Chain A
Amino acid sequence: MLNVTPNLSNPDAFYEALIRSHEGLSDAQSAAFNARLILILANQIGDLPTLLEALEAARTSG
């Protein structure tokens, strides 16, 4: 079950770290970074139905 309620212990700090991680990267390097990050986070979640819900949430929110 996808958790869509606030769960980050420090949202501002995470957001800042995320943006800072992309500093100095080309678009291609950023895309590669994001891909690696998604795979790392997906493994942390693990559960396929939850991941499918996350994919759907991302697809329908843009």
Chain B
Amino acid sequence: MNAPIRDRYPLAYTLYPYRKSADQDGAAIARHPVVIAGGGAIGLATALDLGLRGHPVVVLDDHEGVGTGSRAICFSKRTLEICHRLGAGQAMLDKGVVWQKGRVFHDRDEIFEFDLLPEDGHRYPAFINLSQIHFEKFLHEAIERANAEGAQIEVRGKNRVDAVTAHDDHVTLEVMTPDGPYTIEADWLIACDGARSPIRDMMGLGFEGRVFEDNFLIADVKMTADFPTERWFWFEPWFKSGASALLHKQPDDIWRIDFQLGWDIDRDKELKEESIRARVDAMLGPDVGYELDWCSIYTFQCRRMEKFTHGRVLFAGDSAHQVSPFGARGANSGIQDAENLAWRLDLVLRGRAADTIMDGYDHERVMAADENILNSTRSTDFLTPKSAISHTFRNAVLDLASRFPFARPMVNSGRLSVPCIYDDLPGFGPDVLGGPARSRAGAPCPDAPLGDGFLLDDLGRGFTLLGLNTAVPAQIDCEGLTVEGREIAAKGILAERYLGDAPTAVYLIRPDHHVVARWPAYDAQAVAAALRMALGES
């Protein structure tokens, strides 16, 4: 390419201004263990996770900070739990708008309301709303804190990857900067460069899927309003601003509004301020004053790469998979990619696992992407019926739902992100406890109160062996790894979520807090065998 560096979008915050790196002047080409392309949410989270595990990381971003536009707004409990481990969760929670209730309307009628987390005993709520701008800013602040404590995470602004050559054991990158191009090498390249991933294109890799024939107008408006902190969704709203509409609160008096516009639209006309205001006015009424903060029109698309691992190049987040919104399954699944990838790559970089451990990343996150795409596709089919009969059935569900409870579970205004449970994939099991389904092998650990804090705080950065009401060794050295043992007197909510009717349990838990296996009692050989499975060695 070799085109000069130009901003593709305006910045909300300059976080990592361009600085010339020593790599640009060196006589020899610099080699880095990990280079991450893209400084968005997924790139920053991956860099932070690997940096906190002691690895030097270079992040290349073609901008100097976080772009405007709130884009993703709903961040799930699982994402917050991951960010908590990375040192950014509390700041997100403090800034974010906590919500768990939603209401669904058809025309003027409220059909029903839902509650996403009707139970206590979790550090984090089901969801917070937070602009992606702040989400990324908090991750960057956590990177700066980590660097102050010795981590080596270097985010290079205005560094654009223009060419990639993959070799068996490394990757060569041509990088453009305001001072011209330079070349670096990476043992591993992680492509977090978004849905239009230039690296995916450079490598000639496909991104197959579906485009849904509908357009959605997304408008973030700033207003002081006393609507409750709930997700309000209208099918065929009486105010006629779209075929469907969404209203959802963000921090700083910003409200997310979506309108479903249909397929044949004049994009330029719809994006004019007067067109947007006409729709928003109809929804909010003539007396509500507001400012337009950010607007965009998008189509629904569901696509994924066939494989997320290509030798020494790994794809994470939107570069690997893209889903329709309304399920909060984009950014949230990308953060789960990041943490699934980071602990594996950590073991590879430390020589504790073979490259083949990355196969598990591909299997698990492809399964998760398929689950997200399935849910997202079903939601889209309900929101945007593709035929007359499909529309008839959709409205039949809506007509029945206000009167009959049985129809309410079929109303689909988005199935909100929950983490994938890796059932039946290699690397998990055995599950011989007969314990609760929610904490079975393959599931992410449900949080639970423990002492003055929460269980997830008590799980280490590596593998953990939990002994619930039974003895486990404090430390096991196995397969070149150290597994930390924790004995816990389980009672109350923790016992409900991990023991069920079992009096005792032993859980082997991965660094990303997924359950590998569980037993009624400790057996050294069984734990070693399960650990080998988790490492992809048997």
Least CB distance, A26 to chain B, in whole angstroms: 12
Question: CB < 8 Å: which of B392, B404, B406 contacts A35?
Answer: B392
Q: Which of A12-20, A36-44, A47-55 interfaces with chain B?
A: A36-44
A32 to B400, CA, bound (A): 11
Least CB distance, A37 to chain B, in whole angstroms: 9
B400 touching A36 by the CB < 8 A rule? yes
How many interface contacts (CB-CB < 8 Å) are there between A and B? 28
Least CB distance, A45 to chain B, in whole angstroms: 12
- Asked if B506 CB lies within 8 Å of chain A CBs, one says no
* Residues on the A chain within 8 Å of B205, using CB: none
A40 to B404, CA, bound (A): 9
* Residues on the B chain within 8 Å of A28, using CB: 392
- Asked if B410 CB lies within 8 Å of chain A CBs, one says yes
- Asked if A31 CB lies within 8 Å of chain B CBs, one says yes
A53 to B39, CA, bound (A): 50
Interface range, B side = 10 to 19
A39 touching B407 by the CB < 8 A rule? yes
A7 to B190, CA, bound (A): 61
- Asked if B469 CB lies within 8 Å of chain A CBs, one says no
Question: CB < 8 Å: which of A31, A32, A39 contacts B410?
Answer: A39
* Residues on the A chain within 8 Å of B407, using CB: 39, 43
Interface of B is mostly: helix
A38 to B389, CA, bound (A): 13
A40 to B403, CA, bound (A): 12
A38 to B407, CA, bound (A): 12
B389 touching A31 by the CB < 8 A rule? yes
Complex: chain B residue closest to A35, CB-CB: B396
A32 touching B396 by the CB < 8 A rule? yes
A36 touching B389 by the CB < 8 A rule? no
A39 to B399, CA, bound (A): 11
A31 touching B397 by the CB < 8 A rule? no
A31 touching B392 by the CB < 8 A rule? yes
A13 to B400, CA, bound (A): 25
A32 touching B395 by the CB < 8 A rule? yes
Q: Interface centre among A28, A35, A38, A43, by most B CB within 10 Å? A: A35
B406 touching A43 by the CB < 8 A rule? yes
A39 touching B397 by the CB < 8 A rule? yes
* Residues on the B chain within 8 Å of A32, using CB: 392, 395-396, 399
Least CB distance, A35 to chain B, in whole angstroms: 4
Known A31-B389, A31-B392; judge A36-B399 contact (CB<8 A).
Answer: yes
A19 to B389, CA, bound (A): 20
* Residues on the B chain within 8 Å of A36, using CB: 396, 399-400
A17 to B397, CA, bound (A): 23
- Asked if B298 CB lies within 8 Å of chain A CBs, one says no
Complex: chain A residue closest to B388, CB-CB: A31
* Residues on the B chain within 8 Å of A38, using CB: 393, 396
Least CB distance, A47 to chain B, in whole angstroms: 14
Least CB distance, A6 to chain B, in whole angstroms: 27
Least CB distance, B396 to chain A, in whole angstroms: 4
Question: CB < 8 Å: which of A35, A40, A43 contacts B393?
Answer: A35
B400 touching A39 by the CB < 8 A rule? yes
Least CB distance, B11 to chain A, in whole angstroms: 50
Complex: chain B residue closest to A33, CB-CB: B396
Chain B residues numbered 385-437 whose CB sits less than 8 Å from any CB in chain A: 389, 392-393, 395-397, 399-400, 404, 406-407, 410
Complex: chain B residue closest to A30, CB-CB: B392
* Residues on the B chain within 8 Å of A40, using CB: 400, 404, 406
* Residues on the A chain within 8 Å of B397, using CB: 39
* Residues on the B chain within 8 Å of A35, using CB: 389, 392-393, 395-396
A28 to B391, CA, bound (A): 11
Complex: chain A residue closest to B396, CB-CB: A35
* Residues on the A chain within 8 Å of B395, using CB: 32, 35
A51 to B392, CA, bound (A): 19
A16 to B400, CA, bound (A): 24
Least CB distance, B478 to chain A, in whole angstroms: 43
* Residues on the A chain within 8 Å of B393, using CB: 35, 38-39
* Residues on the A chain within 8 Å of B400, using CB: 36, 39-40
Chain B residues numbered 254-312 whose CB sits less than 8 Å from any CB in chain A: none
* Residues on the B chain within 8 Å of A43, using CB: 406-407
A31 to B388, CA, bound (A): 10
Least CB distance, B389 to chain A, in whole angstroms: 7
Least CB distance, A42 to chain B, in whole angstroms: 9
Least CB distance, A32 to chain B, in whole angstroms: 6
Complex: chain A residue closest to B407, CB-CB: A39
* Residues on the A chain within 8 Å of B389, using CB: 31, 35
Chain B residues numbered 196-219 whose CB sits less than 8 Å from any CB in chain A: none
Q: Interface centre among A28, A32, A39, A40, by most B CB within 10 Å? A: A39
Least CB distance, A18 to chain B, in whole angstroms: 16
List 25 A–B pairs whose Cβ atoms lie within 8 Å, in order of A's numbering.
Answer: A28-B392, A31-B389, A31-B392, A32-B392, A32-B395, A32-B396, A35-B392, A35-B393, A35-B395, A35-B396, A36-B396, A36-B399, A38-B393, A38-B396, A39-B393, A39-B396, A39-B397, A39-B400, A39-B407, A39-B410, A40-B400, A40-B404, A40-B406, A43-B406, A43-B407
Chain B contacts to A: CB under 8 angstroms:
389, 392-393, 395-397, 399-400, 404, 406-407, 410
- 12 more CB-based (< 8 A) A-B contacts, given A32-B396, A35-B393, A39-B410: A31-B389, A31-B392, A32-B392, A35-B396, A36-B396, A36-B400, A39-B393, A39-B400, A39-B407, A40-B400, A43-B406, A43-B407
When A and B form their complex, which 7 residue pairs have the shortest distance between CB atoms, in order from nearest? A35-B396, A43-B406, A36-B396, A35-B393, A35-B392, A31-B392, A32-B392
